[in-house]
Amino acid sequence: MNVDFELQAPDDLAGALDMLAQGGAGVALLAGGTNLIVDMRAGRHRPEGVIALERVQELRGIDCNGARISVGGRTTVTDLLHSPGIAAAAPSLVDAARCFAGQMVRNAATVAGNIACGSPAADLVPPLMSLDATVTLASKAGERSVPLDQYFLGYKQDARRRDELISRISWPRLPARFHNVFYKLARRRGDAITVTGVAVTLCVANGVCDKARIALGAVAPTVVRAKKAEALLTGMRLTPAVIDAAARQAVEECSPIDDIRASAEYRRHAVEVLTRRLVSQAWERLTHTQG
Ligand SMILES: Cc1cc2nc3c(=O)[nH]c(=O)nc-3n(C[C@H](O)[C@H](O)[C@H](O)COP(=O)(O)OP(=O)(O)OC[C@H]3O[C@@H](n4cnc5c(N)ncnc54)[C@H](O)[C@@H]3O)c2cc1C
């Protein structure tokens, strides 16, 4: 591990943004450290300076009271798991938090760190994408927001400038009747990298699917939305034939690779099976409980 770096620990957001503005290309932000420290130890990342965000309280917290649900960048996976507001407004995030690593990593790992690591297998990203989340980037110049489904520019490439940090992630509150779920397919339930992750959000109004979101993890260079599959569902009564067509379309919208965990063919099959299953369950639940 390269120990020759300058460590700074600002007390607040203004201090962090000052340091980031002065820092230049060689500076890395440190949140929970569950990616960064591992990468530094392995020599994959050798920053000249590290800005530790541990004391920056403004970046941590969950607000479920308004029209938009808002989660601070330094909010941990454990915070999500224990939030009644998140359980009610975004159950897919709880699904993801529950199968995320083990307890110690969950206590440290943050939402912003998960997004910023840029991995297509980052487990919080498909749920957030299925919720139409927006990433808020803060710098000394102010804030700007980028829809999460436009945030990733390629494998481990994103829209963040070097003088910016992810301050929060937010999304519009879903209508009263929605279903929102994430399924992680991996070799084990905990502490395993995702082979295929599928998040689905479905809303029903007047007996038809009013809104559909399908986000796919670990099957393309970035997490992706299956927008054409979503379009096949929107405005429709979801018969098995309609759901089948959408599940097959979702496969067309991913581009998985073979790796040590699974073949591309297996991942494509998983996308079809999981999309069909999650959409069917969502539709059944929403229409079964309709008054
Ligand atoms: C044993 C183990 C198991 C794991 N299991 C899982 C798993 O099941 N699912 C999963 O998705 N991941 C898993 N991970 C990966 C990791 O825990 C997550 O990606 C985690 O969310 C990273 O968050 P962090 O706060 O630790 O980020 P850090 O390691 O502190 O930082 C990661 C990257 O994000 C940047 N960053 C941090 N905060 C900000 C910010 N506010 N704005 C901009 N950039 C920022 C850092 O500079 C760095 O580039 C695992 C890791 C380990 C070691």
**Which tens digit of pLDDT belongs to each residue from 80-116?**
999 999 999 999 999 999 999 999 999 999 999 999 9
- Tell me, what amino acid is at 9? A
CA 15 / ligand 1 centre spacing (Å): 22
Q: Is the CB of 28 under 6 A from ligand 1?
A: yes
Question: Given this structure, which CATH class describes domain 6-52?
Answer: alpha beta
pLDDT score for 24: 79
Token pair of 246 as six digits: 């959408």
What stretches of 99-161 show up as alpha helix (H) in DSSP?
103-108, 111-116, 125-130, 148-151
Residue owning tokens 């939030």: 83
Q: Can you name the CATH fold of 178-288?
A: Enolase-like; domain 1 (3.30.390)
Higher pLDDT, 189 or 121: 121
Domain with CATH 3.30.390.50 in the chain: 178-288
**Backbone torsions φ then ψ of 129, nearest 5 degrees:** -65, -35
Q: Measured from the CA of 100, which atom of ligand 1 is nearest?
A: 8
pLDDT score for 1: 56
The C-alpha angle with vertex 130 and arms to 124 and 136, in degrees rounded to 5, equals 65
3-state secondary structure of 62: strand
3-state secondary structure of 197: strand
State yes or no: pLDDT of 290 exceeds 60: no
- Tell me, what amino acid is at 141? A
CA 206 / ligand 1 centre spacing (Å): 41
Token pair of 67 as six digits: 């029209």
Alpha-carbon span 38 to 60, nearest angstrom: 23
DSSP string, 223-237: -EE-HHHHHHHTTS-
CB 147 within 8 A of CB 112: no
CA 158 / ligand 1 centre spacing (Å): 15
CA 84 / ligand 1 centre spacing (Å): 23
3-state secondary structure of 207: coil
Q: Is the CB of 122 under 6 A from ligand 1?
A: yes
pLDDT score for 289: 65
Q: Is the CB of 262 under 6 A from ligand 1?
A: no
pTM confidence score: 0.97
Q: Measured from the CA of 36, which atom of ligand 1 is nearest?
A: 29
Mean pLDDT of 181-195: 89
Could you report the per-residue pLDDT of 144-164, keeping only the tens digit for each?
999 999 999 999 999 999 999
Domain with CATH 3.30.43.10 in the chain: 6-52
State yes or no: pLDDT of 3 exceeds 70: no
pLDDT class of 188 with cuts at 50, 70, 90: confident
As a CATH number, domain 57-172 is: 3.30.465.10
Residue owning tokens 């397919």: 185
Residue 9 contacts by C-beta under 8 Å, 6 or more apart in sequence? 51, 52, 54, 55
pLDDT class of 216 with cuts at 50, 70, 90: very high
pLDDT class of 291 with cuts at 50, 70, 90: very low
3-state secondary structure of 21: helix
Q: Write the burial class of residue 43 (CB in 10 Å: 0-12 exposed, 13-18 middle, 19+ buried).
A: exposed
